[in-house]
Amino acid sequence: MATAALRFPPCLSSRAAPTTTAATCTRRTASATLRVAAQPESASASAPTSTPDAPPEFSPPAGFAPPVPKRFAVKDGQLASVAGAALALPFRLGTGLFVLGYSVSLVSADKIPPDQYSLEFLGLKVKETSKIDQCRRPEKPIEIYEFEGCPFCRKVREMVSVLDLDVLFYPCPQKGPTFRPKVLEMGGKKQFPYMVDPNTGVAMYESDAIIKYLADTYGDGTVPIMLSLGLFTTITAGLAMIWRVWKGSSYTVSKLPPQPIEIWAYEGSPFCKIAREALVELELPHLLHRLCSWQPQATGNFQETWPFPGALYRGS
């Protein structure tokens, strides 16, 4: 999937730390005119007549080197955070860890392609299958406006994982200056999650309605049991975040990159959750490639470190 097509309009590419004045911009889409203020909701906007500020430059910090991937390793000082994020697994019974129709069987080693990752057990290899290859795949990534600390948003993210969908997430933390106002103008309410499917032209609020739509459009119509229990689903989704409740919910001043960050992750991983909390707090749009089990992407370059505990990231 080409990320060049996901570049933002120029007016969204220059977000920097708020000052006493900030530019506003307007862009027209097929369905609406979106006016996005590059400033906090509490600040007043004024339209400058001078030349716009140059867009911010992006480069890694001095001396930065990407960490070496390690299986199931916890960075010093992160144990408490990972443990808190891991509480989601028992509360949600692992929903979001496995794709639609996931199953396993033991086969001889010659039944698994040499470039495909597979666990070994008693001289045999574990063969993983699913129904994903029988499902319709969206040509363009679905767009979802949400934030990490919301149980309704978590429900939708779990369904996205079950269906193995690539999604362009627009984070909407509290006091976020960019995408919360955009949702208000598109749908008329600051309510989350909000989904836009550019493949069908459908846009909607309400987590249960979004889940059903995704199941019917990109699955076999089946909604997992842990996502179809009404109030119980919402309560357990909230309990899953009880030790991380304020993380990924409030805006931290940041610069908007010229195109979305790409990240490979999955909803059931506590390591991936911590990475996404940071993306949401910084209001950084990101194209998320799902990597729950079973995944054909777990081959080639992923083979040496799969199953990796954290998120794989590629910036603009």
Q: What are phi and psi of 228, to 5 degrees?
A: -125, 20
246-259 tens-digit pLDDT? 888 999 999 999 99
Q: Which domains does the chain have, with CATH numbers?
A: 20-41+72-101+133-314 (3.40.30.10)
Distance CA 255, CA 20 (A): 16
Give the contacts of 57 (CB within 8 A, at least 6 positions apart): none
Distance CA 243, CA 154 (A): 15
Please give the residue that has the higher pLDDT: either 275 or 130. 275
Distance CA 85, CA 268 (A): 9
132-179 tens-digit pLDDT? 888 999 999 999 999 998 999 999 999 999 999 999 999 999 999 999
User: Among 37, 78, 35, which residue's Cα sits nearest to residue 310?
Assistant: 78
Radius of gyration of the chain, Cα coordinates, nearest whole angstrom: 20
6-10, 31-35, 110-114, 229-233 — which one is most confidently predicted on average?
A: 229-233
Taking residues 262-277, what's their average pLDDT? 89
Helix (H) or strand (E) holding 128: strand 124-129
Q: How many CA atoms lie within 13 A of 244 on its CB side?
A: 30
Name the band, by pLDDT with cuts 50, 70 and 90, for residue 231.
Answer: very high
Residue 87 has pLDDT above 70, yes or no: yes
CA angle 146, 149, 153 (to 5 degrees): 40
Question: Roughly what angle, to the nearest 10 degrees, separates helices 270-281 and 79-86?
Answer: 100
pLDDT of residue 57: 77
Give the contacts of 291 (CB within 8 A, at least 6 positions apart): 264, 265, 266, 297, 298, 302, 312
Residue 193 has pLDDT above 70, yes or no: yes
Residue 154 contacts residue 147 (beta carbons within 8 Å): no
How far is Cα of residue 77 from the mean position of the Cα atoms in its chain?
A: 24
Distance CA 261, CA 288 (A): 8
Burial of residue 259 (number of CB atoms within 10 Å: 0-12, 13-18, 19+): middle
Distance CA 182, CA 190 (A): 9
Residue 316 has pLDDT above 70, yes or no: no
The helix/strand count (H/E) of the chain reads as 7, 12
- Please report the sign of the dihedral spanned by the C-alpha atoms of residue 7, residue 10, residue 11, residue 13: positive
Residue 39 has pLDDT above 50, yes or no: no
Distance CA 244, CA 161 (A): 20
Burial of residue 192 (number of CB atoms within 10 Å: 0-12, 13-18, 19+): buried
pTM exceeds 0.75, yes or no:
yes
How far is Cα of residue 40 from the mean position of the Cα atoms in its chain?
A: 23
Residue 73 has pLDDT above 50, yes or no: yes
Give me the percent of the chain exceeding a pLDDT of 90.
Answer: 43
Residue 98 has pLDDT above 90, yes or no: no
Q: Which CA distances in Å does 177 have to 10, 49, 204? A: 16, 22, 21
